[in-house]
Amino acid sequence: MVFELPRRRSLSREWVRLSVEVPPVVCQDCYRRVLEEFSKRTKIPGFRPGKKVPENILINYVGKEYVRRATIESILKRTLPHAMASVEGRALKDSVRVVTKFSKMNEEFSLQDIFRFDVMVDVSPEIKWLSESRYKNLKVVVEIDNSINAQSASEEELRRRHKALGSLRIVTDRGLEVGDVVVIDIHATTTGESGGQRIPSAETKGFHFDTEESDNLLPGFLNSIIGIRPGETKSFPLSFPESWKQENLRGVSAQFTVECKELFYRQLPELDDAIADKLLPGSSTLAQVQEVILQRCKEVEKSAIDQATDNAILDQLSKIVEVPAIPQSLFEEQGRQLYGAQLLELQVKQKLNEQQIATLSSEKAVNEFLEFQRENITNIIKQMLAVGEIFRCENLQYPMDELVKEVQNSVAEFKRNNQEYDEDRVREQVQDVMEGAKVLEWLRENSQIQYVYRDVKLAQAKLKPVLHMEQASPLSA
């Protein structure tokens, strides 16, 4: 018999305490089974293997206390699953713990009396919807980067491919023009009250500057060096904008000195059918190249918009639900899954050695990640709980054959990377992903979605320093 005590909460846990009562008949059956097992495994002098050993002799040989402890363990193992049935669907995996001390159970145990023990288990937290309509008619604003526009992206890709076919030629009879590539040395010092101090982060030697890629450069820098010739030096004042990525340079006035070391122009082949195969192997016409690139860019555009839409929906879900208490076991499980996924991705990309993997897999590294990502993990859990409730409330389903296939793919990925895995846990994770996909599909069809396009130059200014760190200019915004 199981008695469920009231659900309790703390700042990081929500649990149920179960009081379990086991009738004497079950205790006696467990006791008999323990004796039978000891009889099979124990060789007692004077008794042939398989011959029934009198109970008193067996107990005296094995030890009364040992038999008693083994019987209690057998009772717990047998009755815990039945006890957990009362919280099926709510209990979090691997969060069950017997809270009655074993010494107390051992002291009070009797084959003629009811055996009692208490169990605590973390349960799925209840979520509170902050909107009266809950998730119905969800209003979502999706920010889209203009740079993913298929038409403009395909034109930019064609320009990039065309430029890659060009060759650099030395400029001898003129100064720098837009479209040239120049090699320069840059020196910078502060002006004003703190004048004359060097700005090391804004200085460089032998910087290869493609003037067609100056969108995120310090405003005014390109215009200030237009016309410079090889061997010539130009000096000019500029100020770092308040939006500059380096906080210590925001609003700083500086005097720049630029020396032109080399100057090149790019000689490009005629953009026509003759270079179609070089632009895109297998193509015979420029129109064919343009069409293929455009179709690829359309696929990228759709994928990017779909991803941005899903992210915006999930972000909105986390804003309209409240979770009074997130069980620590759930927080750690989700956080460790996130950490494991990132570690696997890093291992695939960089082929980490055993020592690196061991360091990154240490408990210290994991705990630091959990603390650093606490807010992010909490939002993911809120989204996960909201998605789960929507999946149940809307009676959504997914094909079982797809589940089996995805589990097999995930297991194969673990094996390829020689990582340990629990197939039951993998299955649960895949189920969560597939439930999430179904819910997002349903929400996309039943939400009010507004798309807002961001300025491409502003977006590029944010992205370029991240995507091109190796080639970044010291003057990149």
Instruction: Reply yes or no on whether the pLDDT at 458 is more than 70.
Output: no
**What pLDDT score was predicted for residue 476?**
65
Model pLDDT for residues 322-360, shown as the tens digit of each residue? 887 777 777 888 888 888 888 888 877 777 777 877 888
411: three-class secondary structure by DSSP: helix
Q: For the residues 271-277, what does the mean pLDDT come to? A: 94
What confidence tier does 464 reach under pLDDT thresholds 50, 70, 90?
very low
**What pLDDT score was predicted for residue 384?**
85
Model pLDDT for residues 416-457, shown as the tens digit of each residue? 877 778 887 788 788 888 988 999 999 999 999 999 887 644
Token duo for residue 325: 């208490």
What confidence tier does 40 reach under pLDDT thresholds 50, 70, 90?
confident
> Exposed/middle/buried for 470, CB within 10 Å: 0-12, 13-18, 19+?
exposed
Q: Which of 96, 153, 158, 152 is nearest to 123 (CA)?
A: 96
**How remote is the C-alpha of 381 from its chain's centroid?**
12
Q: Which of 186, 258, 254 is nearest to 226 (CA)?
A: 258
What confidence tier does 50 reach under pLDDT thresholds 50, 70, 90?
low
What confidence tier does 13 reach under pLDDT thresholds 50, 70, 90?
very low
**What pLDDT score was predicted for residue 461?**
37
What confidence tier does 9 reach under pLDDT thresholds 50, 70, 90?
very low
Average pLDDT, the chain: 84
**What pLDDT score was predicted for residue 80?**
86
pTM: 0.59
Query: Following DSSP, what letter does each residue of 239-258 receive, concatenated?
Result: E--TT-SSGGGTT-EEEEEE
Instruction: Reply yes or no on whether the pLDDT at 474 is more than 80.
Output: no
Instruction: Reply yes or no on whether the pLDDT at 46 is more than 70.
Output: yes
Instruction: Reply yes or no on whether the pLDDT at 62 is more than 90.
Output: no
CA-to-CA dists, residue 251 to 98, 182, 238, 453, angstroms: 62, 27, 10, 29
